[in-house]
């Protein structure tokens, strides 16, 4: 059993909408897998099906080898998964320690409470009331609740939504730490940088379908695609004098798209050195994950809510 999650042709509809429309993917044990997509793309619905919270319409789902849609398996499964919801689900009038102790009592083999408090960086706040914590600290406590049962598979539904940049970074560190300890992580996010920083593999969801999936580095072929070279046209040089042919000229900004960026750069720079011409504003860019994502989900964006970052 090397797969933590197997999803084949999963469908799930609500009365007026097809929320998840025939998706398939696998998550290997020890992996961080991300579901990326705008709001309403089907990320949370999929996760709720995997957690055994929602029934599915059709398709096969195996979580840690069992069907979460089968009630008989749920007690076994719930001892082995951890869940962090979009909502900050923590009682505000308990202390950090009390909340963790309460939830630890539900599991057969919980983690040590002090260890969890240290992992989520709340050692100094262990006896503070939850309502006195900052948003980032509450989220870390929330993740602490997700891992207190020592889960094999952790579901993180938009773990850093609403956090400030510093709190996001510490949350990322925590997710990396969990992964290094062998916990499989299935996360959803609409932040590109987050997925790029954390996930080994990613599936982009759009309108309930998978628009693309693959390793984070190669999604949409961006590791092999064309590079874009940009620079400012030097003064007293005409476009025709350049050693290269621009793809686009925007005012005095020259843009070149090429699959062979090294040769092109070599030619350009040799020319500049020989002629003693200064080239300013030189950049080389490949498609970012954001470019790919925006291209893949273009028809999914109607208004501001889906605009990530």
Partner 1 sequence: MNVTTSDKSARGHWRHDLRLVAHQVKYEQLAFWLNRVGAIFTVGFSVVFLVMLGASAGNQLVKSLGNIRLVQYYVPGFIAYGVMSAGFNTLAITLVVRRETGLLKRLRLSPLPSWVLIASILLSTTIVAIVQVLLMLVIGRFGYHVAFPSSWIALLLAVLVGIISFSAMGVAISAVIPNQETAGPVTSIVFFVLLFLAGLWFPLPSGSGLAKFSNYLPVRHLMIAMDRSFLIPRGTSPWAWHDLLVVALWGAGATLLSMRRFRWSPRRS
Residues that bind partner 1 (CB under 8 A): 1, 51-53, 65-66, 72-73, 75-76, 78-79, 81, 83, 85-91, 93-94, 98, 102-103, 105-108, 145, 149
Q: How far is the CB of 304 from partner 1 (least distance, A)?
A: 14
Contact 19, 285 (CB under 8 A): no
Comparing CB distances to partner 1, the nearer of 83 and 203 is: 83
Comparing CB distances to partner 1, the nearer of 86 and 232 is: 86
Contacts of 253 (CB under 8 A, 6+ apart): 230, 231, 232, 233, 281
Comparing CB distances to partner 1, the nearer of 76 and 114 is: 76
Comparing CB distances to partner 1, the nearer of 110 and 220 is: 110
Look at the block and give the residue holding tokens 């080898």. Answer: 65
Q: Which two tokens stand for residue 199?
A: 């996930």
Letter string b/e over residues 163-179, b meaning 16 or more CB atoms within 10 A of that residue's CB: beeebbebbbebbeebb
Q: What does DSSP assign to residue 216?
A: T
Look at the block and give the residue holding tokens 């029934």. Answer: 55
Q: Which of 185, 201, 212, 184 is nearest to 23 (CA)?
A: 212
Contact 34, 160 (CB under 8 A): no
Comparing CB distances to partner 1, the nearer of 66 and 197 is: 66
Q: How far is the CB of 31 from partner 1 (least distance, A)?
A: 20
Q: How far is the CB of 91 from partner 1 (least distance, A)?
A: 6
Q: How far is the CB of 271 from partner 1 (least distance, A)?
A: 57
Q: Which two tokens stand for residue 277?
A: 């011409």
In whole angstroms, give the CA distance from residue 18 to residue 41.
10
3-state secondary structure of 113: helix
Q: How many CB atoms lie within 10 A of CB 279?
A: 16
Q: How far is the CB of 210 from partner 1 (least distance, A)?
A: 22
Q: How far is the CB of 103 from partner 1 (least distance, A)?
A: 7
Comparing CB distances to partner 1, the nearer of 88 and 282 is: 88
Comparing CB distances to partner 1, the nearer of 71 and 298 is: 71
String of DSSP letters for 74-102: HHHHHTTEEEE-SS----TTSBHHHHHHH
Q: How far is the CB of 39 from partner 1 (least distance, A)?
A: 10
3-state secondary structure of 251: coil
């Amino acid at each position: 059993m090397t797969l933590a999650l197997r999803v084949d042709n999963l469908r799930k509809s609500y009365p007026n909408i097809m929320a998840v429309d025939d998706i398939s993917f696998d998550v290997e044990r020890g992996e961080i897998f991300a579901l990326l997509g705008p709001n309403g793309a089907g990320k949370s619905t999929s996760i709720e099906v995997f957690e055994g919270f929602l029934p599915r319409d059709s398709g096969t789902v195996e979580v840690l080898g069992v069907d979460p849609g089968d009630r008989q398996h749920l007690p076994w499964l719930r001892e082995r998964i951890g869940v962090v919801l979009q909502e900050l689900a923590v009682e505000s009038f308990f202390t950090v320690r009390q909340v963790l102790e309460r939830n630890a009592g539900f599991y057969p083999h919980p983690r040590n409470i002090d260890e969890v408090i240290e992992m989520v960086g709340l050692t100094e706040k262990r006896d503070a009331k939850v309502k006195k914590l900052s948003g980032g600290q509450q989220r870390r406590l929330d993740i602490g609740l997700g891992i207190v049962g020592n889960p094999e598979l952790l579901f993180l539904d938009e773990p850093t939504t609403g956090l400030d940049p510093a709190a996001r970074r510490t949350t990322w560190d925590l997710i990396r730490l969990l992964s290094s300890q062998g916990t499989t992580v299935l996360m959803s996010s609409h932040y590109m940088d987050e997925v790029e920083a954390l996930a080994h593999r990613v599936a982009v969801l759009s309108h309930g379908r998978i628009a693309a999936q693959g390793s984070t580095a190669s999604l949409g072929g961006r590791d092999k695609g064309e590079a874009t070279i940009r620079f400012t046209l030097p003064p007293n040089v005409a476009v025709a004098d350049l050693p290269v042919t621009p793809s686009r000229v925007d005012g005095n900004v020259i843009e070149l798209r090429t699959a062979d960026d090294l040769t092109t750069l070599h030619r350009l720079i040799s020319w500049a050195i020989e002629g003693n011409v200064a080239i300013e504003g030189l950049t080389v860019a490949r498609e970012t994950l954001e470019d790919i994502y925006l291209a893949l989900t273009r028809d999914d964006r109607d208004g501001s809510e889906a605009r990530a970052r």
